[in-house]
């Protein structure tokens, strides 16, 4: 990795603020075009979020890429970028570097070794295309002067013709993430869609926390619904509330005050099971029967105490209906989310109505570009957000 401190005479044509996924991809592509590129980041090392992605295995893309996997106030915005630089393009890049990967559930692709493979690949591509870096550097002010930008960092001044904001959003602040990109947009009078945590665990109200506290660490497969959206995936009970892939997915649509519905036994006909047991002359108690399908601790928490001790043979139709409701229409009104600290992304950001979907250039400020998570484009869980970073960074790199 070439650092600008080793190249005092270097005069960049393109400055990219943010050494994350979209910034590195943009730098590589601009470098391929012969541009003099400088990547600036306030962190000491690049790619912090890449390294922790996918539990350290980097969920770098998804086989089933589609615009429907993204949400934005401008729902068609992502289509151009993800169709021009696809999952197959990024996979081809990995294969050219002989990085081994594997497919998991729902088309998610992960490195077999570690996320470092992805970061090392990107940095190697940067070296091969003469990209320069200025790390551990904070930008204090940015000005547009005629046909160039001036960036002030302490007593230093940097100039460039094209400026790319690839700073990401403020989720996972321990990685160094901030809202700097939003400030830049605001300074240039570019609209910001109010942001909120996304792909984030949900907290419980105090009364529900008491009820479910003993289940902390328990995981079950469930169908989780919020409004018109539903996902079937793992649900994890935590000491704060609810998490797991199913909850992270539904959090994209959750709003404070919403109630979520949980079906703990999807594809199971409780009434048929009870009828079959009755016809067989079963003397089981309800809790013992349901414990054949769900963990006993969950059964004892969810089902009404009087009902769970009833014998199958004695249960009435009304009680059967109540049992079905308790297991397959469990309603919880979360207190909120765990916030930016544990959110994998944010929903909202730089208004995509004010950005070119083909080039990522601001429609208001010539030669100012925005890429990746700083934009109001949020992908579902499963590699979609990193693919958005690759695609949007690639598009900007063709045009800066």
Pairing of strands 345-350, 192-198: antiparallel
State the pLDDT at residue 174: 87
Closest among 140, 163, 144 to 153, alpha carbons compared: 140
* CA atoms of 152 and 222, how far apart (whole Å): 52
Q: Which fold has domain 2-196+343-397?
A: FAD/NAD(P)-binding domain (3.50.50)
Tell me, what DSSP letter sits at residue 311?
Answer: B
CB 288 within 8 A of CB 253: no
For the segment 240-247, the average pLDDT, to the nearest whole number, is 96
* Cβ neighbourhood burial of 234 (10 Å; 0-12, 13-18, 19+): middle
Model confidence band, residue 393 (pLDDT cutoffs 50, 70, 90):
very high
Domain boundaries, the chain: 2-196+343-397, 201-338
CA–CA separation, 211 and 28 (whole Å): 52
Question: CA-CA distance, 81 to 350, in Å (whole number)?
Answer: 16
Please give the pLDDT value at position 4: 52
DSSP strand pairing (132-134 vs 330-332): unpaired
Q: Which pLDDT score is estimated for 146?
A: 87
Place of tokens 């079959």: 276
Cα separations in angstroms, 290 against 126, 286, 297, 317? 57, 6, 11, 17
Q: In 142-242, which residue ranges form alpha helices assigned H by DSSP?
A: 180-187, 206-212
Q: What is the largest CA-CA distance in the chain?
A: 89
For residues 264 and 294, the answer to whether their CB atoms sit within 8 Å is yes
Contacts of 64 (CB under 8 A, 6+ apart): 106, 107
State the pLDDT at residue 237.
97
pLDDT value, residue 293: 94
Are 251 and 227 in contact, with CB atoms under 8 Å apart? no
**Six-digit token pair at 313?**
């043979």
Check: CB of residue 335 under 8 Å from CB of residue 371: no
- The answer to whether residue 180 scores a pLDDT higher than 50 is yes
Q: What is the pLDDT of residues 114-163, one digit of tens each?
A: 999 999 999 999 999 999 999 999 999 999 988 999 999 988 999 999 99
Q: Starting at the earlier edge strand, list the strands of the sheet with 148-153.
A: 141-145, 148-153, 156-160
d(CA 342, CA 180): 19
Per-residue burial over 313-335, b = 16 or more CB atoms within 10 Å of its CB, e = otherwise: eebeeebbeebbebbbeeebebb
Determine the average pLDDT of the residues in 342-355: 97
Average pLDDT over the chain, rounded to an integer = 94
Query: Which of 285, 322, 316 lies closest to 304 in space, CA to CA?
Result: 322
**Are the beta carbons of 42 and 173 closer than 8 angstroms?**
no
Residues sharing a CB contact under 8 Å with residue 36, sequence separation 6 or more, in sequence order: 10, 11, 12, 13, 14, 130, 132
Beta-carbon contacts of 319 under 8 Å, excluding residues fewer than 6 positions away, are 307, 310
pLDDT per position as a tens digit, 64-101: 999 999 999 999 999 999 999 999 999 999 999 999 99
Which DSSP symbol is given to 204? P
What count of other Cβ atoms lies within 10 Å of the Cβ of residue 161?
16
**Ranges of H-type helices in 216-359:** 245-250, 270-279, 286-290, 296-302, 305-308, 317-328
Pair 382, 236: CB distance under 8 Å: no
pTM: 0.92
Choices 1.25.40.80, 3.30.460.10, 2.40.30.10, 3.40.50.970: CATH for 201-338: 2.40.30.10
The pLDDT of residue 122 is 98
């Amino acid at each position: 990795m070439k650092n600008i401190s080793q190249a005092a005479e270097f005069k960049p044509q393109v400055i990219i603020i943010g050494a994350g996924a979209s910034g590195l991809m943009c730098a590589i592509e601009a470098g391929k075009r012969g541009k003099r590129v400088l990547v600036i980041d306030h962190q000491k090392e690049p790619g912090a979020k890449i390294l922790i992605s996918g539990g350290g295995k980097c969920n770098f893309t998804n086989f089933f890429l589609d615009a429907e996997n993204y949400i934005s106030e401008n729902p068609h915005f992502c289509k151009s970028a993800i169709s021009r630089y696809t999952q197959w393009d990024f996979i081809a890049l990995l294969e050219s570097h002989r990085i081994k990967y594997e497919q998991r559930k729902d088309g998610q692709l992960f490195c077999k070794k570690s996320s470092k493979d992805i970061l090392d690949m990107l940095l190697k591509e940067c070296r091969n295309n003469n990209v320069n870096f200025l790390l551990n550097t904070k930008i204090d002010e940015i000005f547009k002067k005629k046909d160039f930008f001036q960036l002030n960092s302490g007593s230093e001044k940097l100039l460039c013709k094209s400026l790319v904001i690839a700073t990401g959003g403020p989720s996972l602040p321990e990685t160094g993430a901030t809202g700097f990109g939003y400030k830049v947009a605001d300074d240039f009078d570019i609209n910001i869609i109010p942001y909120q945590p996304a792909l984030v665990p949900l907290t419980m109200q105090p009364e529900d926390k008491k009820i479910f506290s003993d289940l902390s660490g328990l995981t079950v497969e469930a169908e989780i619904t919020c409004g018109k959206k539903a996902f079937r995936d793992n649900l994890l009970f935590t000491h704060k509330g609810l998490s797991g892939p199913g909850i992270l997915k539904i959090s994209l649509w959750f709003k404070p005050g919403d109630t979520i519905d949980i079906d703990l036994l999807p594809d199971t006909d409780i009434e048929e099971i009870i009828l079959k047991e009755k016809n067989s002359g079963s003397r089981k108690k309800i809790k013992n029967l349901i414990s054949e399908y769900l963990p006993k601790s969950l059964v004892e928490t969810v089902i009404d105490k009087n009902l769970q001790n009833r014998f199958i043979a004695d249960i009435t139709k009304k009680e059967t209906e109540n049992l079905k409701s308790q297991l397959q229409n469990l309603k919880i009104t979360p207190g909120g989310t765990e916030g930016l600290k544990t959110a994998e992304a944010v929903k909202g950001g730089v208004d995509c109505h004010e950005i070119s979907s083909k080039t990522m250039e601001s429609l208001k400020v010539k030669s100012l570009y925005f890429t990746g998570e700083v934009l109001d484009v949020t992908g579902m869980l499963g590699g979609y957000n990193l693919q958005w970073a690759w695609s949007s960074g690639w598009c900007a790199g063709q045009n800066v």
